[in-house]
Structure 1
């Protein structure tokens, strides 16, 4: 489940379409997520949805337009989780604005979650638990569509039920122009 619906207001342009090493961030994140061989791959779209969807052409992902994406990450996450098959035991949730993310870290998250599938597996960086993270299905109902922080508050509230997978480099995101490469 790739959250790619935001308007990137602080950046001033769609961060999903920022290119690093010749690849736009949304495509890069989707490609990395697909390396984990998910049963389903959903990309939540909102702002600039046609251009973002076009950047995903040729990848085996389901583009999911989220009508109320402007309400925040919670609305996109809720819509994406609701779109998954009822047979889905957990969801890898990621964003596209973490340029240090790599497939090895995603594989580590999935492996950690599979070893204890009733618990979440979350990235640990900058002293917090965050995304990317694998959420067990039992947690899906706790995601609030009105929350602008997606899964962050849930991971923190349930930290005792969350397995941390360290990756300090993920603290660097691309939210403002001064952070662009």
Structure 2
């Protein structure tokens, strides 16, 4: 599966949650380590993690993993800056990358099998975008062919990759991931852990 990188967006300050969601305990480890291990086990490479708020506190939780950390100093300007920062870092490592899978750190039920399904869907269809399908939408984790890298670099503020998926729905393939609707944004969501 070389040629397909993975980028985990984990730079946010978790303001609505009131604590760093990256460091929530899940299955005996921090959520960020769990998601990073899922990404590594999926077989895509390189794997990058974008950090911002709490960067120095989070880094020890990623020790001894085969990942590349990108520090987004502009994390407070919105998710788009993390996508640009991380994609730039990944392309510096692997300039010939065919595609990138974008993940977020607050979907605890993401699995390496799901990531492999996204990659397989890309390899066996003519779809330039392969996205997780949940709650009536296509969203992340999502794979983007390199032809979309310029659009990813053009994102601004809090406009994320879903805007590109919506714009190019006819070129997108959905992979069922019902649990993708569950993310950890507010304290009430922590009951699932």
TM norm. shorter chain > 0.5: yes
The 1:39/1:99 distance shift into structure 2, 3 A limit, reads closer
Matched residues in 2 for 1:28 and 1:45: separation? 15
Match of 1:50 among 53, 56, 62: 56
Matched residues in 2 for 1:102 and 1:154: separation? 23
Which residue is 1:127 aligned to?
136
Matched residues in 1 for 2:79 and 2:72: separation? 10
Deviating runs (4+, > 4 A) in structure 1? none
Greater helix proportion? 2
- For the residue of structure 1 that corresponds to 2:180, the secondary structure is helix
User: How far 1:169 sits from its partner (Å)?
Assistant: 1.2
Matched, 1:150 2:156: no
Matched residues in 1 for 2:31 and 2:38: separation? 10
Superposition RMSD in Å: 1.2
> What pairs up with 1:10-159 in 2 under 5 angstroms?
10-83=16-89, 84=91, 85-116=94-125, 119-143=128-152, 144-159=154-169
> Aligned pairs, how many?
181
Matched residues in 1 for 2:157 and 2:115: separation? 24
Structure 1: gaps spanning 5 or more residues: none
User: How far 1:96 sits from its partner (Å)?
Assistant: 1.1
User: How far 1:118 sits from its partner (Å)?
Assistant: 5.6
Which residue is 2:3 aligned to?
none
Structure 2: gaps spanning 5 or more residues: 1-6
